[in-house]
């Protein structure tokens, strides 16, 4: 860019670097601190931020291994972190698969098929999605309470119930997949139809193989969205072995039982994989966020 640079340019660049470094230091402080704390012995010590001695006790407890303290007392893991992580992965994995399945078919209908009130249905779905689930918790609780009286494996305190509850959040994903389908030339499918393929066959054998990248993206988005979901999980799951990570983690930091070091290890252990997946999917997440608004 042909911008005339003044004498102050050099000085300004240094100021910008300094400012950014300070800001990054502040931003990363909590994340680095928690890693350091996870290696610091004890749950209460307010010692230096850079641990003087490395202790693996919190990591052992987080990984479900009991430890023996120097004074001979036996410490068992306070919470089943790995079980919670498994619950989270299981619920998020199954939910994400189902979400991908039902949003893909719906997106196909919106992108390719003709039916009455197409635009108004799509718009109302996107509008509905703006209402946060946290506001309707009372109703969701009441619904699953009643369902559980008839179908016990789908009620409160069941993972199946939680997975089913997540099937409401598909509008954004339908929108994303629909936009992708629309970039694929419709002629390819028309050729398949000329060759005698049914709707289902064109969808299954022609369109879907071309849409695999976007399906992966939506899977990752849905997976992250459900694995970090807290409100619905917190009302549907209450018993310790049933919890997901998002619901269980807070129990480390109760005033009466403050397990700061143990929490730090559990947080790093469970947060790191999710963060890495998120960073890998960053590009699509951001574009999904910006295009998520309602468009007519």
Partner 1 sequence: MMTFKRVCPPWQLWLNRLIALGVGILLMWLVIGLYSEGRAAWAVAILALGSLSIYIYSSAKTLAWRYLFPGVAGMIVFVAFPLLYTVQIGFTNYSASNLLSEERARAYLLDQSTVDENSAYFFTLHREKTTLRILLTPPTDSHETTRFISSAIKLDRDHASDAPIEMQTLTTTINSLGAPMSLREVLVYRDVLMAVRLKLPDNRTLQYVGVREFGSIVPSWNATADGALVQQSTGEIYVPNAVTGFFETAQGARMQPGFKVGIGFANYTRMMFDADIRGPFLSIFVWTIVFAGLTVLFSTILGMSLAMVLNWEALRYRTVYRTLLFLPYAVPGFISILIFKGLFNQNFGEINAILNALFGIRPAWFADPLLAKTMLLIVNTWLGYPYIMVLCTGLIKSIPADLYEASAIAGAKPLTNAVRITIPLLIKPLTPLLIAAFAFNFNNFVLISLLTDGRPDYLNTKLPAGTTDILVSYTYRIAFTDAGTNFGLAAAISTLIFFMVALLSLANLKLARVNEKKG
Site for partner 1 in 34-93 (CB under 8 A): 34, 37, 44, 46, 49
Task: Output the six-digit token pair for 163.
Answer: 């997975």
Residues 145-164, interacting with partner 1 (CB under 8 A):
146, 149-151, 164
CA dihedral 119, 215, 167, 130 (to 10 degrees): -50
79 close to 63: Cβ distance less than 8 angstroms: no
- Window of 60-68, 89-97, 142-150, 181-189 that interacts with partner 1 by CB under 8 A: 142-150
Q: Which H or E run includes 258?
A: strand 257-258
Nearer to partner 1 (CB atom), residue 86 or residue 258: 258
| Euclidean distance between CA atoms 264 and 120, whole angstroms | 48
Q: Does 109 bind partner 1 (CB under 8 A)?
A: yes
Residues 226-265, interacting with partner 1 (CB under 8 A):
227-228, 230-231, 234-235, 245-246, 249-250, 252-253, 258, 260, 263-264
Task: Output the six-digit token pair for 142.
Answer: 């009441």
Nearer to partner 1 (CB atom), residue 26 or residue 72: 26
249 close to 34: Cβ distance less than 8 angstroms: no
Q: Name the minimum Å distance from CB 237 to partner 1.
A: 13
3-class SS at 257?
A: strand
- The single residue among 7, 74, 139, 239 that binds partner 1, judged by CB under 8 A, is 139
- Window of 21-29, 58-66, 67-75, 79-87 that interacts with partner 1 by CB under 8 A: 21-29
Using DSSP bridges, classify how beta strands 253-254 and 74-75 pair: parallel, antiparallel or unpaired.
Answer: unpaired
């Amino acid at each position: 860019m042909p911008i005339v640079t003044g004498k102050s340019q050099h000085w300004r660049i240094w100021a910008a670097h300094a400012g950014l470094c300070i800001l990054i230091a502040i931003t990363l402080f909590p994340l680095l601190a928690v890693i350091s704390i996870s290696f610091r012995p004890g749950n209460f010590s307010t010692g230096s931020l850079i641990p003087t001695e490395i202790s693996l006790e919190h990591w052992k407890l987080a990984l479900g291994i009991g430890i023996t303290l120097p004074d001979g007392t036996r410490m068992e893991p306070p919470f089943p972190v790995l079980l919670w992580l498994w619950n989270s992965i299981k619920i998020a994995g199954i939910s994400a698969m189902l979400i991908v399945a039902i949003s893909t078919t719906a997106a196909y209908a919106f992108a390719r098929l003709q039916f009455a009130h197409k635009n108004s249905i799509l718009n109302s779905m996107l509008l509905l999605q703006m209402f946060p689930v946290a506001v309707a918790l009372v109703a969701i609780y009441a619904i699953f309470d009643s369902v559980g009286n008839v179908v016990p494996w789908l009620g409160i305190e069941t993972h199946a119930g939680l997975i089913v509850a997540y099937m409401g959040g598909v509008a954004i994903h339908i929108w994303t997949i629909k936009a992708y389908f629309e970039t694929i030339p419709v002629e390819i499918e028309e050729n398949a139809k000329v060759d005698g393929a049914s709707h289902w066959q064109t969808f299954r054998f022609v369109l879907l193989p071309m849409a695999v990248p976007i399906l992966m993206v939506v899977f990752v988005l849905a997976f992250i969205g459900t694995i970090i979901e807290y409100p619905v999980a917190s009302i549907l799951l209450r018993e310790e072995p049933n919890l997901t990570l998002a619901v269980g983690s807070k129990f480390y930091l109760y005033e009466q039982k403050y397990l700061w070091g143990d929490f730090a290890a559990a947080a790093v252990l469970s947060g790191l994989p999710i963060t890495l997946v998120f960073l890998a999917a960053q590009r699509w997440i951001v574009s999904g966020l910006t295009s998520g608004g309602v468009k007519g």
